């Protein structure tokens, strides 16, 4: 469905902005417009609980208050500081982005979505989040929660391009920061995934779905479909090896202690190769260590 065929649910705007005046959460990264600090928060918040990031975000910024400070450190420093946040590849991507910011942008983050997307590991969501939350630009930021709202409001299961076009069209002029933060919090507090509070929702008359019939958010753009189990997965083994490397180098043969019952030497080699390819480890002779 094209943007032209979608009816933009403008009736949600005023009630949502009214709701936000008293209901927005107070989160520390919402108190800053520093692009680097916003970027760090957005990378940390990807698939990580807010409560965990509340503790780790200030600690990270105390060590690396600017992109240049981060770039001047070793990748291993960032990986070590990332312990407990999971998805360690994000730490490497953040460090690589910091290096590019230092080397190509005089230590300042690009100010456009296109420029931000050119940084290593920065996808369309993160680029738009920094544009909205650091530079207060009027761009729509579509994550799994916002994707759910858009589908329900329109009553349509949306493809990515129409969803993004709709998100952009809904942003009230000059209110990109507040609007996107409001969508995040409304989706968490009211229009939840499993038990939306439709009866008490201030948008019920403007919502095409309103809790009746099949949920159009199922399979819609940006809406998470869930992950495969972590227990016993390659991700778990990768995480355990990375945690061990945070304590110091180890002999390659010692990787066998992280093996699962069905692992073979070939499958363990594949996991180690993946860590090296992702920049999370390096092999020197027979010793595995964090990257320098």
Determine, yes or no, domain membership for 140. Answer: no
Determine, yes or no, domain membership for 145. Answer: no
Determine, yes or no, domain membership for 53. Answer: yes
Last-in-domain residue among 133, 149, 175? 133
Q: Alpha-carbon distance 84 to 230, whole Å?
A: 15
Mean pLDDT of 241-245: 95
Burial label for 42, CB within 10 Å (0-12, 13-18, 19+), is buried
Mean pLDDT taken over the chain:
93
Last-in-domain residue among 133, 167, 191? 133
CATH number of the domain bearing residue 249:
1.10.10
Q: Alpha-carbon distance 125 to 51, whole Å?
A: 21
> How many domains does the structure of the chain reveal?
2
pLDDT tens per residue, range 265-292? 999 999 999 999 999 999 999 999 999 8
pLDDT, position 47: 85
Last-in-domain residue among 133, 152, 183? 133
Determine, yes or no, domain membership for 279. Answer: yes
CB 47 within 8 A of CB 87: yes
Q: Which of 175, 215, 180, 179 is nearest to 195 (CA)?
A: 215
Determine, yes or no, domain membership for 117. Answer: yes
Strand order of the β-sheet with 287-289 is: 250-251, 287-289, 282-284
Mean pLDDT of 119-126: 96
> Which residue in this structure is represented by tokens 């060590």?
63
Note down the domain range covering 60: 34-133
What does pTM read for this prediction?
Answer: 0.91
Cβ neighbours of residue 291 closer than 8 Å, sequence gap 6 or more? 74, 75, 76, 79, 92, 279, 280, 281, 282
Determine, yes or no, domain membership for 146. Answer: no
Q: Alpha-carbon distance 204 to 207, whole Å?
A: 5
Determine, yes or no, domain membership for 211. Answer: no
CB 172 within 8 A of CB 179: yes
Q: How confident is the model at residue 2 (pLDDT cuts 50, 70, 90)?
A: very low
Catalytic residues: 42
CATH number of the domain bearing residue 65:
1.10.340.30
pLDDT tens per residue, range 15-45? 999 999 999 999 999 999 999 999 999 999 9
CA atoms in the 13 A half-sphere facing the CB of 175: 15
pLDDT tens per residue, range 196-231? 999 999 999 999 999 999 999 999 987 755 556 777
CB 246 within 8 A of CB 83: yes
pLDDT, position 226: 58
Q: How confident is the model at residue 3 (pLDDT cuts 50, 70, 90)?
A: very low
Residue 53, SS3? helix
Residue 67: both structure tokens together:
């992109």
């Amino acid at each position: 469905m094209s943007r032209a065929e979608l009816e933009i649910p403008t009736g949600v705007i005023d009630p949502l902005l009214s709701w936000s005046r008293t209901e927005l959460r107070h989160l520390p990264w919402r108190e800053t417009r520093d692009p680097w600090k916003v970027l760090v928060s957005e990378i940390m918040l990807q698939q990580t609980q807010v409560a965990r990031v509340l503790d780790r975000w200030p600690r990270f910024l105390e060590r690396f208050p600017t992109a240049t400070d981060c770039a001047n450190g070793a990748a291993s420093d960032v990986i070590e500081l990332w312990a407990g946040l999971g998805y360690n590849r994000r730490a490497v991507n953040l460090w690589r982005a910091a290096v590019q910011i230092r080397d190509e942008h005089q230590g300042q983050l690009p100010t456009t979505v296109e420029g931000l997307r050119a940084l290593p590991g920065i996808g369309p969501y993160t680029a738009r989040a920094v544009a909205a939350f650091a530079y207060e630009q009027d761009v729509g930021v579509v994550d799994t929660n916002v994707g759910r709202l858009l589908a329900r409001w329109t009553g349509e299961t949306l493809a990515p391009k129409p969803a993004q076009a709709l998100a952009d069209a809904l942003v009230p002029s000059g209110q990109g920061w507040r609007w996107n933060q409001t969508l995040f919090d409304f989706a968490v507090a009211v229009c939840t995934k499993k038990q939306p509070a439709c009866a008490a929702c201030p948008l019920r008359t403007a919502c095409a779905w309103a809790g009746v019939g099949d949920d159009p958010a199922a399979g819609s753009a940006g809406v998470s479909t869930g992950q495969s189990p972590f227990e016993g997965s390659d991700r778990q083994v990768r995480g355990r090896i990375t945690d061990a490397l945070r304590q110091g180098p180890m002999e390659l043969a010692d990787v066998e202690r992280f093996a699962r019952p069905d692992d073979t030497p070939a499958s363990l080699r594949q996991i180690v190769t993946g860590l090296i390819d992702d920049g999370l480890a390096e092999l020197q002779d027979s010793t595995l260590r964090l990257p320098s």
